[in-house]
Amino acid sequence: MKMPTPDAGVIARQAQIATALADIVPDGVIADADGVSPYGSDGLAMYRQSPLAVVLPRTTSQVSRVLAWCHANGVKVVARGSGTSLSGGALPLADGIVLGMSRFNRILGVDYDNRCAVVQPGVTNLAVSQAIAHKGFYYAPDPSSQIACSIGGNVAENAGGVHCLKYGTTSPNLLGVELVLMDGNVLRLGGPGQEQAGYDLLGLVCGSEGLLGVVTEATVRILPKPATQRALLLGFPSVADASDCVAAIIAAGIIPAGLEMMDAPAIRAAEDFVQAGYPTDVAALMIAEADGTAAQVDDQLARISDIARAHNCCHLRASTDEAQRLLFWAGRKAAFPAVGRIASDYYCVDGTIPRRQLGAVLEQISAIVARHGLGVANVFHAGDGNLHPLVMYDAAVPGQTEAAEAAGAEILKACVDAGGVLTGEHGVGVEKRDLMPHQFSPIDLDVQSRLKCAFDENGLLNPGKLFPTLARCAEMNAMHVHGGRVSFPEIPRF
């Protein structure tokens, strides 16, 4: 999509900003059209918009000075890690800058005795585990995009992963952050200690989607690798059988290290792509993993197998070695790109529901997508009810992008109506912003808005995200955002 040509006033403003910020970050300001273009969208590829400039700082001091200048001059700022956000969380503003944190890419220290590591926000998720593997440790949260997504982005969205059922999302694995506020002040929250006195501001920052401050350092919990890890592949003749099995496993008091599901379209796509040995004649496939001592793993897998058989499991295979276990997971973790091979475009929806509602809501999802004339493949964290329907469409066909968006909105409303929430790990961003009133009352949203104002009184950090209506704190006037657009520029569809 060709972006509109900026007018003379915008060009002058861009030059002013670029010049001022180049004094702070001499080797890290991009303002030409070709240079800023790669920063024009994130993983939510439906929208694209170029910022006025991109700034790539190297130090906390530079981040502090950039934010202080932007605060003093009323310049909006969107912090960006690897750009893998699937909710438009890193979508830039046409009248703002992108603060790219990719140069913050070092692991600053590891304390194995106290089981924590201090890392910069641009370090990729997988790189943390790789750096400590030689000592027998790893970092538990493992999003499917872990090879690319950054720790800073994980903190912003409270990212999860296939092992979050047992080990939690980013939040319980985050011990501390260094945070730069919009006015340039540097704040430290938490640290290596397991408990902290006072208000839990660290809990507030994790999952705040870049609206409260910019993380320049994170202290994360690391864990010793389990002595034994094994996985089961469980095939079922229906999604309902598999969903009932999930509920029964948890009801039996079993908390697997991972409990994932895929439906038939996702199974076939993943198997064609990875050749993980998945059965392609089943309606639903579950991956259940146990970890711990060999005796614990054997016992848990035996109990899960018995429960699966009681729920009509028609395919059961246990991994026999580490290579096979990793292959089982490779298909699941490659499910998104695998679906990308069979669909021109897809829209990944992210909602969470009570486990007992899995079967009913998956039926609703199929009906919703069919009503819009589209296809769907379901891949999800079954153990905690976090759904990821991949709505398949073709952006080149007029009306299909809008149909995919409409189907996604209906799916998310169905999740809330079933007793769930709008997001499990991808965040709200611009994608779910206008759906927030479906889950939250005006009082709920007002309280959240006031918290935002306490950190960023002028609404300069990542504006247009999360809130359907955000009160400007200084004069309490409303800035209304609706339908994927904000009151300043339109967000063009890509």
Comparing CA positions, the residue from 480, 416, 412, 424 lying closest to residue 449 is 480
**Residue 9: Cβ within 10 Å count:** 8
pLDDT of residue 294: 96
* Average pLDDT value for the chain: 92
Name the nearest CA neighbour of 456 among 470, 443, 440: 470
Confidence check: pLDDT of 360 > 70: yes
Task: For the chain, give the number of residues.
Answer: 494
Q: pLDDT tens digit string along 333-343?
A: 999 999 999 99
Residue for token pair 């790539």 = 56
- Taking only Cα atoms into account, the Rg of the chain, rounded to an integer number of angstroms, comes to 23
| Contacts with 261 (C-beta within 8 Å, 6 or more apart), sequence order | 242, 243, 246, 284, 285, 286, 287, 378, 379, 380, 382
148 neighbors 82 (Cβ within 8 angstroms): yes
For residue 470, what pLDDT is reported? Answer: 61
Q: What's the confidence (pLDDT) of residue 472?
A: 53
Confidence at 120, pLDDT banded by 50, 70, 90 = very high
At residue 491 the predicted structure's pLDDT band, cuts being 50, 70 and 90, is low
Q: How many helices (H) and strands (E) are present in the chain, helices listed first? A: 16, 21
Residue 45's pLDDT is what? Answer: 80
Buried b / exposed e across 289-326, counting CB within 10 Å, b at 16+? bbbeeeeebeebbeebbebbeebebbbbebbeeeebbe
How many of the other CB atoms lie within 10 Å of CB of 27? 8
pLDDT over 80 (residue 471):
no
Among 33-47, 281-295, 415-429, the least confident range? 33-47
The per-residue pLDDT for 123 is 98
Burial class (CB in 10 A: 0-12, 13-18, 19+), 237: middle
So what's the pLDDT on residue 144?
A: 87
Q: What residues contact 30, with CB distance under 8 A and at least 6 apart?
A: 36, 39, 53, 54, 55, 56
Average the pLDDT over 307-324 and give the result.
97
Pairing of strands 345-348, 386-393: antiparallel
pLDDT surpassing 80 at residue 273: yes
For position 46, what pLDDT does the model report? 84
**How does residue 60 score in pLDDT terms, banded at 50, 70 and 90?**
very high
**Which residue has better confidence, 491 or 310?**
310
Which range among 40-44, 50-54, 364-368, 475-479 shows the weakest confidence by mean pLDDT? Answer: 475-479
Question: Which among 441, 466, 442, 440 is positioned nearest to 452, based on CA atoms?
Answer: 466
φ, ψ of residue 36 in degrees (nearest 5)? -85, -15
d(CA 222, CA 167): 11
The amino acid that residue 226 corresponds to is P
Which tokens is 118 given? 């201090």
Describe the crossing of helices 294-310 and 239-251 by its angle, rounded to 10 degrees.
130
Q: What is the mean pLDDT of residues 200-221?
A: 97
Quick one: pLDDT at residue 105? 97
Query: Residue 63 and residue 52: Cα distance in Å, rounded?
Result: 17
Give the residue-averaged pLDDT of 456-472. Answer: 87
Phi, psi torsion values for 340, nearest 5 degrees: -60, -20
Distance (Å, rounded) from C-alpha 286 to C-alpha 284? 7
CB atoms under 10 Å from CB of 135, counted, come to: 12
> Over the range 371-388, which residues count as b (16 or more CB within 10 Å of their CB) and which as e?
ebebbbbbbbbbbbbbbb
Residue 493: per-residue pLDDT: 52
Does residue 489 carry a pLDDT above 60? no
Percent with pLDDT over 70 in the chain: 94
Rounded mean pLDDT, 201-205: 96
Residue 486 is predicted with a pLDDT of 37
403/371 Cα distance (integer angstroms): 10
- Of the ranges 42-51, 64-73, 174-183, 444-453, which one carries the lowest mean pLDDT score? 42-51
The mean-pLDDT minimum among 9-18, 81-90, 99-108 falls in 9-18
The arithmetic mean of pLDDT across residues 275-296, rounded, is 97
Q: How far apart are CA 375 and CA 344, in angstroms?
A: 11
Per-residue pLDDT tens over the stretch 400-441: 999 999 999 999 999 999 999 999 999 999 999 999 999 999
pLDDT confidence band for 5 (50 / 70 / 90): low
- At 426 the pLDDT is 94
Question: What domains can be seen in the chain, in order of their start residue?
Answer: 8-100 (3.30.43.10), 107-224 (3.30.465.10), 228-336 (3.30.70.3450), 343-431 (3.30.70.2740)
Q: Which residues of 263-283 are buried (b: 16+ CB within 10 A; e: fewer)?
A: bbbbbbbbbebbebebeeebb
220 and 253 in contact (C-beta within 8 Å)? no
Q: How sure is the predictor about 152, in pLDDT bands with cuts at 50, 70 and 90?
A: very high
